[in-house]
């Protein structure tokens, strides 16, 4: 069943079926701008990619950066393309369409809505393009599901449905919803739409040079007013929030990967390692190297 949006209520009595999937390493890659009906989920296992997208046909194009340990979810009907620079990046990708529930589980989107409060909230927010950090090693589940699909000997799985696949899709969607809700918890008050625009812009562009002025411009509000909103909601200014966001991303990379510290500094948007070390120490109370040493026994999330 082809429905242009995962939020279409006509699809809630159906479930998701995998239509395409891949795990590939890209370098110096520029995809054609395109649009399709399937929902697409991409996980960046290592490296960094840029996604050019428009919120609808004919809308202005925007650029979002997705880095190691992050997911991007692209709803059906969103025009987009992927660009990868001269550093290798591995992408794990799946595309889904709505399909009738199958025995013996008979799972549906309605099942998740009724039994998972965070998924219910996530669906109600109707965000059609978003990036989230992998807080729960969902990337590992993603990778295992790809391995299973490859083990059955097909690269196109339109007819492949099994309890394992349905359970895996349900678990991945549930955890993506939980990650999204946790990373986008905002109170409801006047000005919330500007905060949502600002935090979304920061999450998509934190790896580049960001200024409070640029964030306010993209949110469509004055810098002074946006600073007040950030202060009321997060108890920090726009610039403090940007730095906090960058350091949070850096901590996850230090915990979960073997990416060199200088590369992490560049990946989270610092011009040089010295500036990164200074800001990291100010926020965490130790150097990135010391933080890495504390977490060096944790599992590396790079899967081949």
Task: Specify the pLDDT at position 297.
Answer: 56
Q: Which of 183, 201, 225 is the last residue of a domain?
A: 183
Rounded to the nearest 5 percent, the helix, strand and coil shares of the chain are 45, 20, 35
CATH number of the domain enclosing 13? 2.60.120.10
Do 55 and 144 lie in one domain? The reply is yes
Distance CA 45, CA 67 (A): 8
Whether the pLDDT of residue 64 is over 80: the answer is yes
Q: Which of 41, 166, 130, 47 is nearest to 93 (CA)?
A: 41
Q: Which of 254, 264, 256 is nearest to 284 (CA)?
A: 254
Distance CA 268, CA 164 (A): 36
Do 156 and 227 lie in one domain? The reply is no
Task: Specify the pLDDT at position 302.
Answer: 46
Question: If you average pLDDT over residues 262-279, what whole number do you get?
Answer: 92
Whether the pLDDT of residue 301 is over 50: the answer is no
Residues in contact with 259: Cβ distance below 8 Å, sequence separation at least 6, in sequence order = 46, 68, 253, 267
Do 151 and 214 lie in one domain? The reply is no
Q: Which of 183, 214, 245 is the last residue of a domain?
A: 183
59-73, 129-143, 179-193, 209-223: segment of lowest average pLDDT: 179-193
Task: Specify the pLDDT at position 52.
Answer: 96
- Strand 39-46 relative to strand 70-74, pairing: antiparallel
Query: Do 175 and 138 meet the contact criterion of CB atoms below 8 Å apart?
Result: yes
Do 286 and 238 lie in one domain? The reply is yes
Q: What percent of the chain has pLDDT over 90?
A: 57
Task: Specify the pLDDT at position 188.
Answer: 59
Whether the pLDDT of residue 271 is over 90: the answer is no
> Distance from CA of residue 88 to its chain's centroid?
19
Structural tokens at position 235:
């108890």
Task: Specify the pLDDT at position 299.
Answer: 45
217-226, 273-282, 295-304: segment of lowest average pLDDT: 295-304
Q: Where are the beta strands (DSSP E) in the chain?
A: 15-26, 29-30, 39-46, 48-54, 61-67, 70-74, 80-84, 89-99, 129-133
Do 171 and 196 lie in one domain? The reply is no
Structural tokens at position 221:
């509000």
Distance CA 213, CA 23 (A): 38
Q: Which residues pair with 200 in a beta bridge?
A: none
Dump pLDDT digits (tens) for 148-201.
888 876 544 444 678 889 999 999 999 999 999 888 777 656 788 899 889 989
Task: Specify the pLDDT at position 153.
Answer: 64
Do 272 and 170 lie in one domain? The reply is no
Do 130 and 26 lie in one domain? The reply is yes
Three-state SS for 132-180 is EECCCCHHHHHHHHHHHHHHCCCCCCCCCCCHHHHHHHHHHHHHHHHHH
The answer to whether residue 4 is domain-embedded is no
Query: Do 261 and 273 meet the contact criterion of CB atoms below 8 Å apart?
Result: yes
Task: Specify the pLDDT at position 138.
Answer: 87
The answer to whether residue 144 is domain-embedded is yes
Do 48 and 162 lie in one domain? The reply is yes
Dump pLDDT digits (tens) for 76-131.
999 999 999 988 999 999 999 998 888 888 999 999 999 999 999 999 989 999 99
Do 55 and 167 lie in one domain? The reply is yes
Count up the domains in the chain and report the number. Answer: 2
> 241: domain range?
192-294
Question: If you average pLDDT over residues 230-249, what whole number do you get?
Answer: 93
Task: Tell me which of 184 and 220 has the higher pLDDT.
Answer: 220
Task: Specify the pLDDT at position 212.
Answer: 95
HSE, side-chain direction, 13 A CA sphere, residue 282: 11
Do 196 and 232 lie in one domain? The reply is yes
> pLDDT-derived band of residue 244, with 50, 70 and 90 as boundaries?
very high
Do 98 and 165 lie in one domain? The reply is yes
Report how far apart, in Å, the C-alpha atoms of 76 and of each of 5, 39, 134 are: 5, 5, 22
Dump pLDDT digits (tens) for 1-36.
556 788 988 889 999 989 899 999 999 999 999 999
Question: If you average pLDDT over residues 198-216, what whole number do you get?
Answer: 92
Do 171 and 208 lie in one domain? The reply is no
């Amino acid at each position: 069943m082809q429905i242009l949006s995962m939020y279409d209520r006509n699809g809630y009595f159906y479930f998701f079926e995998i239509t395409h999937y891949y795990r590939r390493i890209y370098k110096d890659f520029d995809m054609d701008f395109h649009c399709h009906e399937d929902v697409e989920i991409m996980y960046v296992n290592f490296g960094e990619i840029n996604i050019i997208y428009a919120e609808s046909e004919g809308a202005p194009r925007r650029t979002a950066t997705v880095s190691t340990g992050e997911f991007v979810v692209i709803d059906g009907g969103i025009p987009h393309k992927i660009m990868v620079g001269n550093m290798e990046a591995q992408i794990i990708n799946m595309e889904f369409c709505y399909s009738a529930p199958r025995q013996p589980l008979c799972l549906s989107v309605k099942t998740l809505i009724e039994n998972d409060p965070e998924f219910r909230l996530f669906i109600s927010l109707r965000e059609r393009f978003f990036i989230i950090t992998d807080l729960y090693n969902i990337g590992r589940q993603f990778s295992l599901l790809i391995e299973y699909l490859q083990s059955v000997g097909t690269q196109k799985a339109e007819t492949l449905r099994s309890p394992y696949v349905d359970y895996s899709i349900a678990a991945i969607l549930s955890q993506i919803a939980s990650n999204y809700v946790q990373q986008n918890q905002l109170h409801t008050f006047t000005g919330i739409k500007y905060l949502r625009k600002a935090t979304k812009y920061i999450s998509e562009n934190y790896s580049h040079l960001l200024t409070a002025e640029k964030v306010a411009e993209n949110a469509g509000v004055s810098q002074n007013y946006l600073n007040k909103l950030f202060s009321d909601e997060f108890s920090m200014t726009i610039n403090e929030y940007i730095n906090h966001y960058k350091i949070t991303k850096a901590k996850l990379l230090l915990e979960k990967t073997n990416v060199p510290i200088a590369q992490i500094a560049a990946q989270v948007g610092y011009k040089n390692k010295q500036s990164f070390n200074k800001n990291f120490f100010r926020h965490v109370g130790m150097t990135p190297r010391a933080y890495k040493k504390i977490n060096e026994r944790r599992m590396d999330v790079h899967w081949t």
